[in-house]
Amino acid sequence: MKILHLYSDWRWTGPAEPVLQTCLGLQQRGHEVLIACPRDPDDKISDETVEGKIAEYGLPCTTQFRLSRYLGLADTWHDWRALPGFIRTREFDIVHTHLSHDHGIGTVCTRKLGAGRPLLVRTLHKRSVLKGSLINKVLLNRLTDGMLVYTDEFRQAYIDRLAIPSEKIRVLPMGIDLQRFRPDCEGRNLRPELGLPAGSPVIGLVTRFQKYRRMEVFLDAAAAVIAEVPEARFVLLGASSQMQSTVWEPIKARGLETQVIFGGYRMDDYVDTLAAFDIFTLLMPGFDGTARAVREAMAMGIPCVVSNYGMLPEIIRDGETGRVTPLEAEPLAAAWLELIRNPERRREMGAAARADAVERFDFAKIAESLEQSYEAWLAK
């Protein structure tokens, strides 16, 4: 198959990595894949841009289309004129879109081709379901040939809200680099650098610190744990413009300055930092809907304690790969204490989490599943 992926964001954020990893998997399965993305406005190519990362992956890329995520009239008009001829000349079987703007562009351009047009597919990378508006119903139900979501919860929500036929929408989990994230990774021991006492149980959180992340629940539960296990430590990784109100002030108000450690935004030693955690926690997934950090922790063999919000109960199997609790401080603290006091239980859950990640989040398996979805939709 010949597949064109449209991705209308130049920044290396949220959905970009699974898009590229899946494209790599498709290429390894013998398909011809091309990714179209916009250039950095400053015309830079770096590891912080999608174009730069595509080059690192060794994937074919074109930046000849504007694909502006801001819906600029001139840019959009340029793509409406240039893209249909490109698709026809290259004889693509599938145009796969990922974000709202490239979906709109892809819809117009494939429809302009008339009979024999390529299949139009959309992956919905958001944690929230799109509104059941008339335009969404027409765009997704009538003008899109296939849709992909991360979880069964999302799939059923789209079927209910937008009357999407069940055969048109499929679940395709987000993959993880299982070679990078693995229990036996040989990295630096960062516990001394992070100020973690030897032998102390460590609960880690990776997130963008915003008000909706419910840090007050996390910190109230941390205070309850520390009251019973004073040597416990909590490590926060991430960044935000809301750090003062969501992190620093609440930590100070609870007197947790010593026990809650801010590790900052880690890139080069991110995997090594995860390896310092005994337990991983996430309460509220981000807007991209991936909960990627949970999947990464699972691949590292770290048991996870998550809330019962959104897709999290589908990722963590309660009592097997971690614990799923209500979004409240008391049950969260109880789940942490259960695992802190039972190291063998932690090891068992961590091993089960790794096995589950290998089974569900392997990019090669995800690429195979995507190939099967393409084939089913093309056959209709």
Q: Is residue 61 part of a domain?
A: yes
Helix (H) or strand (E) holding 249: helix 249-253
Q: Are residues 138 and 211 in the same domain?
A: no
Q: Are residues 154 and 7 in the same domain?
A: yes
Q: Are residues 265 and 356 in the same domain?
A: yes
Burial class (CB in 10 A: 0-12, 13-18, 19+), 30: exposed
Q: Is residue 186 part of a domain?
A: no
Predicted local distance difference test score (pLDDT) of residue 288: 66
For the chain, the average pLDDT equals 91
**What tens digit of pLDDT does each residue of 63-106 get?**
999 998 776 788 999 999 999 999 999 999 999 999 989 999 99
Distance CA 320, CA 332 (A): 16
Distance CA 376, CA 23 (A): 18
Q: Are residues 160 and 33 in the same domain?
A: yes
- Beta-carbon count within 10 A of 268 CB: 6
Count of domains forming the chain: 2
Q: Are residues 372 and 291 in the same domain?
A: no
Q: Are residues 222 and 351 in the same domain?
A: yes
Q: Is residue 183 part of a domain?
A: no
- Beta-carbon count within 10 A of 210 CB: 18
Q: Is residue 55 part of a domain?
A: yes
- When comparing pLDDT for 25 and 44, which is higher? 25
Read off the pTM.
0.86
Q: Are residues 356 and 368 in the same domain?
A: no
Provide the residue range defining the domain that includes 103: 2-175+362-378
| Percent of the chain topping pLDDT 90 | 66
Q: Between the CA of residue 360 and those of 15, 17, 22, 43, 349, what are the distances in Å? A: 17, 17, 14, 37, 16
- Beta-carbon count within 10 A of 135 CB: 10
Enumerate residues 6+ apart whose C-beta is below 8 A from 63.
36, 37, 38, 39, 51
Q: Are residues 21 and 166 in the same domain?
A: yes
Q: Is residue 152 part of a domain?
A: yes
Q: Is residue 185 part of a domain?
A: no
Q: Is residue 356 part of a domain?
A: yes
Q: Is residue 325 part of a domain?
A: yes
Q: Are residues 208 and 168 in the same domain?
A: no
Identify the bridge partners of residue 120 per DSSP, sorted by sequence position.
95
**What tens digit of pLDDT does each residue of 210-263 get?**
777 888 999 999 999 999 999 999 999 987 778 788 888 999 999 999 999 988
Enumerate residues 6+ apart whose C-beta is below 8 A from 348.
none
Q: Are residues 75 and 91 in the same domain?
A: yes
CATH number of the CATH domain containing 63: 3.40.50.2000
